[in-house]
């Protein structure tokens, strides 16, 4: 069964992983919003939503992070590899492991087109894979929204009396996609998304950077989930920190065809494009800033010489010094 059904081609594995990871993110995230709104805040509050999205991203990273064509988070050294006896080889092995950890982490579990684009910009994801990642992420988000709607269908009908709307006292469109607060301008919303997504990508790069402190193997998704929690409690006032074009546009497309209509695009002066374009710009900004200010300045991977070689060089220097002194004496 395994031999017959297992997918061999790496890009298809990555496609399925990104699809399922984004599905998990939206199911937990939008599900937490649905529970809060449809219960009229009796079974939820803003903190519920923050926890839902942060844990959702953490679980998405666990689901998809190790299922890519590249190695899973950590090292790509195969189990059972013997540790070299030569000190130089040992240091080279540790360098290889650190590089593998960074590469593996940046090759899977993105669940966000902005993160995927940032990895393309940094050369950590092949550009031809980018469209596959994005399509998988949008499909996963769409499916996740459909699952939330199906799960709470009866609650939706009871809450709205069968009238699905984006605005008004019984509005439910914001369960699936972001909409701006009344005080927020178009420029303010765009800046909000650039800054928020920039911080998300910058912190993710720090966590998976083998040349930085990073996080222990297997703990990276937990740390990444905490980033969402931090952004939610500090940058959620303006529009609810979408930070992810797939997470926002995918469910928005679902609501457009599921009964909310084209109002999901026209509301708030056609707000819909801001949580799509803003995060893409923010992801690039965050990636470039981290590379220029941190990653570019990591020490070069040059292992130190073994002690034996250093002693041999010292002996050669002493012999050379004695020879020079002897020549000076004979010349005088």
Query: Would you say residue 176 has pLDDT above 80?
Result: yes
* DSSP-assigned letters across all residues of 133-182: HHHHHHHHHHHHHHHHHHHTHHHHHHHHTT---SSSTT--GGGTS----T
Region 76-86: mean pLDDT is: 42
Give pLDDT, residue 76.
36
Measured between alpha carbons, how far is 330 from 332 in angstroms, rounded to an integer?
A: 5
Mean local confidence (pLDDT), 37-51: 97
Confidence of residue 28 (pLDDT cuts 50, 70, 90): very high
> In CATH, what is the architecture of 7-301?
Up-down Bundle (1.20)
2-18 pLDDT, tens digit each: 666 677 778 999 999 99
246 burial level (CB within 10 Å; 0-12, 13-18, 19+): buried
Query: pLDDT band at residue 99, thresholds of 50, 70 and 90?
Result: very low
If pLDDT is split at 50, 70 and 90, which confidence band does 292 have?
very high
pLDDT value of position 9: 77
Q: Looking at residue 307, what is its pLDDT?
A: 55
Per-residue confidence (pLDDT) for residue 104, from 0 to 100:
42
The arithmetic mean of pLDDT across residues 204-231, rounded, is 95
pLDDT digits 0-9 by tens, 114-131:
999 999 999 999 999 999
Give me the pLDDT at residue 62, please. 96
Integer Cα distance of 184 and 190 in angstroms: 10
Cα Rg, the chain, nearest whole Å:
26
Would the pLDDT of 218 be above 70?
A: yes
Is the confidence at residue 146, as pLDDT, over 70?
yes
**Percent of the chain surpassing pLDDT 70:** 77
* Domains of the chain by residue range: 7-301
Average pLDDT for 285-296: 97
Spatial distance between the Cα atoms of 101 and 208, rounded to a whole number of angstroms:
7
- pTM, 2 dp: 0.81
Output the pLDDT for position 312. Answer: 58
Which pair of structure tokens corresponds to residue 185?
């301008």
Q: Are 22 and 110 contacting, i.e. CB atoms less than 8 angstroms apart? A: no
In the predicted structure, residue 231 carries a pLDDT above the cut 90: yes
Is residue 208 within 8 A of residue 101, CB to CB? The reply is: yes
- Tell me the mean pLDDT in the region 291-303: 85
Across the chain, mean pLDDT equals 85
Q: Residue 102: pLDDT band by 50, 70, 90 thresholds?
A: very low
Q: How far apart are CA 300 and CA 286, in angstroms?
A: 23
Structural contact between residues 179 and 268, judged by C-beta atoms closer than 8 angstroms: yes
What is the Cα–Cα distance from 328 to 312, expressed in whole angstroms? 25
End-to-end CA distance of the chain: 89
Whole-number Å distance between alpha carbons of 177 and 186 = 17
Arithmetic mean of pLDDT, 298-310: 62
Q: What does the pLDDT average to over 171-182?
A: 97
What is residue 7's predicted lDDT score, i.e. its pLDDT?
A: 76
Grade residue 319 by pLDDT with cuts at 50, 70 and 90.
Answer: low
Give CA angle at 99 (93, 104), nearest 5°.
120
- Tokens in use for 76? 């790509």
pLDDT at 157 over 60: yes
Which one is predicted more confidently, 72 or 280? 280
Confidence at residue 10, expressed as pLDDT on a 0 to 100 scale: 86
Residue 95 confidence class, pLDDT cut points 50, 70, 90: very low
Confidence of residue 264 (pLDDT cuts 50, 70, 90): very high
Phi/psi region, residue 120 (left: phi>0; alpha: psi -120 to 50; beta: rest), is alpha
Q: Which of 74-83, 123-132, 199-208, 300-309 has the lowest mean pLDDT?
A: 74-83
Residue 241 near residue 132 (C-beta atoms within 8 A): no
Tokens standing for 290? 């981290």
């Amino acid at each position: 069964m395994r031999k017959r059904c297992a997918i061999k081609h790496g890009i298809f594995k990555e496609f399925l992983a990104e699809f399922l990871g984004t599905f998990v993110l939206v199911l937990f995230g939008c599900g937490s919003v649905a529970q809060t709104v449809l219960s009229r805040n009796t079974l939820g509050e803003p903190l519920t939503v923050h926890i839902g999205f942060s844990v959702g991203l953490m679980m998405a990273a666990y689901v998809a992070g190790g299922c890519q064509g590249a190695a899973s988070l950590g090292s790509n050294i195969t189990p059972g590899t013997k540790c070299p006896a030569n000190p130089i080889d040992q240091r080279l092995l540790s360098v290889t492991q650190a590089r593998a950890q960074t590469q593996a982490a940046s090759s899977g579990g993105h669940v966000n087109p902005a993160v995927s684009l940032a990895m393309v910009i940094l050369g950590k994801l092949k550009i031809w894979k980018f469209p596959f990642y994005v399509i998988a992420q949008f499909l996963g988000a769409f499916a996740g929204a459909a699952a939330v709607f199906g799960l709470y269908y009866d609650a939706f009908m009871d809450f709205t009396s069968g009238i699905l709307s984006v605005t008004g006292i019984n509005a439910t469109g914001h369960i699936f996609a972001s909409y701006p607060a009344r005080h927020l301008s178009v420029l303010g919303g765009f800046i909000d998304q650039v800054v928020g997504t920039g911080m998300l990508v910058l912190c993710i790069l720090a966590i998976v950077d083998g040349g930085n402190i990073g996080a222990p193997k297997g703990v990276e998704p937990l740390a990444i989930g905490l980033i969402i929690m931090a952004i939610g409690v500090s940058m959620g006032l303006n529009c609810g920190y979408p930070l992810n074009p797939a997470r926002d546009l995918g469910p928005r497309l679902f609501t457009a065809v599921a009964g909310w209509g084209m109002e999901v695009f026209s509301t708030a002066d056609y707000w819909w494009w801001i949580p799509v374009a803003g995060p893409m710009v923010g992801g690039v900004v965050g990636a470039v800033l981290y590379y220029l200010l941190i990653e570019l300045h990591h020490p070069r991977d040059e292992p130190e010489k073994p002690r034996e070689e250093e002693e041999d060089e010292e002996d050669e220097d002493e012999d050379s010094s004695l020879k020079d002194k002897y020549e000076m004496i004979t010349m005088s």
